[in-house]
Structure 1
Amino acid sequence: MTDMRALDTHRPLDRPHSPPEGSPPVSSEDEVAGAIRTARAAQPGWAATPAAERGAALRSAAASVRAHAEDLAKLVSAETGRPFASAEEGVLAGVSTLEQYAELGPVHGGRSLLGSWDAMDFMVPEPRGVVVALTPWNDPVAVACGLLGAALVTGNTVVHKASERCPQTGVLLNRLMAAAFPDGVLHGITGDGSVGALLAADRDVDVVAHVGGTATGRAIAAATALTGAKALLENGGNDPLVVDADVDPVWAAGQAALGAFTNAGQLCTSVERIFVHAAIADEFLDALCRAAHEWTPQPLVDERQREHVHQHVAEAVADGATALTGGSVPNGEGAFYPATVLARCTPGMRVMREETFGPVAPVRVVESFAQGLAEAAEDDHGLAATVLTVSMAHAQQAWRTLPVGTVKVNAVFGGAPGGAAQPRGLSGTGFGYGPELLDEMTTTKVVHVAQIQPSSQARRAAS
């Protein structure tokens, strides 16, 4: 996962979302098995390659991706509907990630241990083997570069399947990167969830790294439990925003709109549910509706995703919520859905319990900050959360008690580079980015080297 700062979401599209023609064919079962066998055969040689050379190869791959950033961004925009400027920003973020891992990989080491003077004791990281990377459509290049870069630079070989919603993006990225490595080190596969299931269930795979939906992540966890492979999962979230009584409601509404509507709500850390203090709720809702009206519509990835989003909204309205803005499927081409503000939401509604992944801001009014914090914590997911408050005591209470991997105070997006978190609950397991991802892609061996005693050598010579 990349650091999702505020992106250029207000730039209108030149045309409706229209995926390119000529999608690559789905890889067959034999092709999937062959890719894994090829990766297995190439892995010992790649692991034996000096770390500095692996880093240099990854740096070369990064340069190739940078040189073709415009081509990749055009494909991302065409296949997913993401505005070109935002898509290009995602591609360049992926390049930056590759460059970072090219530097971090060669210095990723173990540590020495203080044993006896006549021996050496140390711990050393080793590659896990064959890594399967299953990456999503919402930021396809940036996310893939993180998983591929960390796996490759630490000596693993990789079989990568991009989402079936952006197959051509995946094909081009794999081709550009694979050219920098020896044959068999990086192999691209195309297809839908059935192909991903074949990859995850193969007993010759050592790691399955997945960024995507919760249901898929749970299926991968079940498959790897049988094969013994490591599952590295970011399964999405249901990220809450808690708004305290002491903040400017107009500013808070701007933060809520940014978190809920950026990239049409199709970010891993989008704001999915909002808890606002009753003391400022009316002003907050008015300002949020104004922000929603001003937000430039962006298309969802496809009609299937729009139907999913609208179903969440329609069910909430049927259960008593009020759509203050949006809430209906517009006419015309493209999978557009308006920025939608839902008031009078209750905890039992599906729009509050599950990840909607669309431009929807469900709002629940609470009587106290403590109530908002408690209800925000009552969820099976645990990816991220945001709190807006002037109170340092409330900020401290929030980050200490919210059961999520990332807590943001007074900003829905942002953060220093290099930060890495572990999701909780249904949101997954393991570090999915940052320097710690190198640890996830390796396994640690402890070594004790003792010196043969002189008396033993003498006895052997005498015999």
Structure 2
Amino acid sequence: MSINSQAHTLLDVQDDESLTILDPRDGSEVGTLPSANRDQVALAVGLARTVQPEWAATSPADRGAALRRAAAALREGARELAELNTRETGKPLGDALGGVEAGIATLEQYAELGPVHRGLSLRGAVTATDYTVAEPRGVAALLTPWNDPVAVAAGLIGAALVTGNTVIHKPSERCPHVGELLGRLLQPAFPDGVLTTLTGGAGVGQMITMETGVDVFAHVGSSATGARIARAASLTGAHVIRENGGNDPLIVDADVDPVWAAGQAALGAFANSGQICTSVERIYVHRAIAEPFLAALAAEAHSRNTGGDFAPLVDRRMRDIVDAQVTEAISLGARCLEGGQVPGGPGAHYPATVLADCTDAMTVMTEETFGPVAPVTVVDSFDDALRLAAAGPYGLAASVLTGGIAHAQQAIAGLAVGTVKVNAVFGGAPGGSAQPRGISGAGFGYGPELLDEFALVKVVHISAPPQEGA
């Protein structure tokens, strides 16, 4: 049996535990997949270590060519993968197709960037040569999320493989069928054993982090899980890349159009039903425009709630968490201007919700709320808004809507986050890559710099031997 055949047999071995997924739109069963056990995890890591030296010896151009083949296979399976994503997570089909397209583009980008991932020429003695080379870290374990499962996984897989690492991929337990299908589509582009997919829940992830044969972990998900991975890696010596939770603030200055600002706030808070790492999580609006802003924001939420196509949350467990945070806020004095009630019927639907009069005593203002909730605090000055926005342990991203360059520059300097967005809650130039702060993570999780995260730098010094008789 080939190494690759052994690796993919891991998905076919029934264990005592399994994952059964229900469609969050109507509660129907999507399917059941087995969870890997400890022996299967150890086998997968061992296989990855066995083939890694040969994969590392493959030329960067050939590794890039393999990524292009993987991108082509992903394009052929795009519709099937997107439809499965919609069934597992409730993501609208158009958005799911967009995620697959982003994954294809990312694989193609790393196919081009990998071969030109170069070292540096150093200045030493004129009779010597000094330079740096990038070498793969070894075995990379990738633990990826459910809210954009194809795009995120493709980016990490592409960057890890093109730099010469072998990969163990564990997709989220909330979309194991998507992860398993993604693995089946991509794997034939690579030699046996280079890419292995393991399905399972948090226990499988924990088993992977305990493996001393893993050299680098890349995790996109909650801050609590990221912290556990970092602690485990401190015992094994593995490098860790984390893009974790956020509690991203939005500052709305006094000099902007309140209706336009409400549209931006709604986009940031309600896109993908609020299930984006960089969703708008808390809003600070200047008192001068607070009333029309809140009215327009409530109208934005109402239009989504009555439009008939607002996507559900990923499952009822997530809905229970979101609803508990909203209920707590209302009990502590928040006014619910729209939404805020769990609807009847099947599935995991939750309405776009606007809360006014929020304070830092409420969880919706201090922790990540992975749902369509827009909690608003009214402030008397831009300085007050900036002070409140800068507080807390998270540091993923922040947005500022202002007509003044001075306030924009003040926010850019004063917000300890990886990304600051001025006058647009989403968007940015291609190739941008940020380092999260605080409990939101560490390291570059995307962009060209991700290649550096998956590589080790070696310095080379070459001197001429002494001349005979000198």
The TM-score, its normalising length taken from structure 1, stands at 0.94
Q: Look up the SS of the partner of 2:54 in the other structure.
A: helix
Alignment deviations for residues 418-442 of structure 1 (CA, whole Å, 9 cap, x no partner): 0000000010000000000000010
Q: Establish whether residue 148 from structure 1 lines up as the match of residue 157 from structure 2.
A: yes
Specify which of 220, 235, 256 is matched with residue 226 of structure 1: 235
Alignment of 1:106-255 (within 5 A): 106-255=115-264
Alignment deviations for residues 201-251 of structure 1 (CA, whole Å, 9 cap, x no partner): 211110010000111001001100111101100112000000000000000
**Alpha carbons of structure 1 residues 32 and 179: separation in structure 2 relative to 1, 3 Å:** same
Tell me what 1:56 maps to: 65
Q: Which amino acid aligns with 2:125?
A: S
**Alpha carbons of structure 1 residues 19 and 239: separation in structure 2 relative to 1, 3 Å:** farther
Tell me what 1:294 maps to: 303
Specify which of 331, 345, 364 is matched with residue 332 of structure 1: 345
Specify which of 386, 411, 435 is matched with residue 399 of structure 2: 386
Tell me what 2:334 maps to: 321
Tell me what 1:11 maps to: none
Q: Which amino acid aligns with 2:43?
A: G
Q: Quick check: 2:335–2:357 contact (8 Å CA) kept in 1?
A: yes
How far is 1:96 from its partner?
A: 0.4
How far is 1:17 from its partner?
A: 4.4
**Alpha carbons of structure 1 residues 393 and 289: separation in structure 2 relative to 1, 3 Å:** same
Q: Quick check: 1:58–1:99 contact (8 Å CA) kept in 2?
A: yes
Provide the rounded CA distance (Å) in 1 between the counterparts of 2:165 and 2:158. Answer: 10
Aligned length: 444
Provide the rounded CA distance (Å) in 2 between the counterparts of 1:272 and 1:356. Answer: 7
Provide the rounded CA distance (Å) in 2 between the counterparts of 1:354 and 1:179. Answer: 41
Specify which of 400, 415, 421 is matched with residue 408 of structure 1: 421
Tell me what 1:377 maps to: 390
Alignment deviations for residues 306-354 of structure 1 (CA, whole Å, 9 cap, x no partner): 0010011001011111111111100011100000000110012111000
How far is 1:167 from its partner?
A: 0.3
Q: Quick check: 1:242–1:376 contact (8 Å CA) kept in 2?
A: yes
Provide the rounded CA distance (Å) in 2 between the counterparts of 1:385 and 1:316. Answer: 22
Provide the rounded CA distance (Å) in 2 between the counterparts of 1:269 and 1:21. Answer: 28
Unaligned runs of 5+ in 2: 1-22
Alignment deviations for residues 257-314 of structure 1 (CA, whole Å, 9 cap, x no partner): 0000011000011000000000000000000000000014210000000001001100
Alignment deviations for residues 144-199 of structure 1 (CA, whole Å, 9 cap, x no partner): 01110000000000000000100010011111111100111100001001100111
Q: Establish whether residue 86 from structure 1 lines up as the match of residue 95 from structure 2.
A: yes
Q: Look up the SS of the partner of 2:192 in the other structure.
A: coil
Q: Look up the SS of the partner of 1:276 in the other structure.
A: strand
Specify which of 432, 437, 441 is matched with residue 450 of structure 2: 437
Provide the rounded CA distance (Å) in 2 between the counterparts of 1:375 and 1:80. Answer: 33
Q: Look up the SS of the partner of 2:33 in the other structure.
A: coil
Q: Quick check: 1:19–1:80 contact (8 Å CA) kept in 2?
A: no
Specify which of 366, 373, 381 is matched with residue 360 of structure 1: 373
Unaligned runs of 5+ in 1: 1-13
Tell me what 2:12 maps to: none
Tell me what 1:280 maps to: 289
Q: Establish whether residue 266 from structure 1 lines up as the match of residue 275 from structure 2.
A: yes
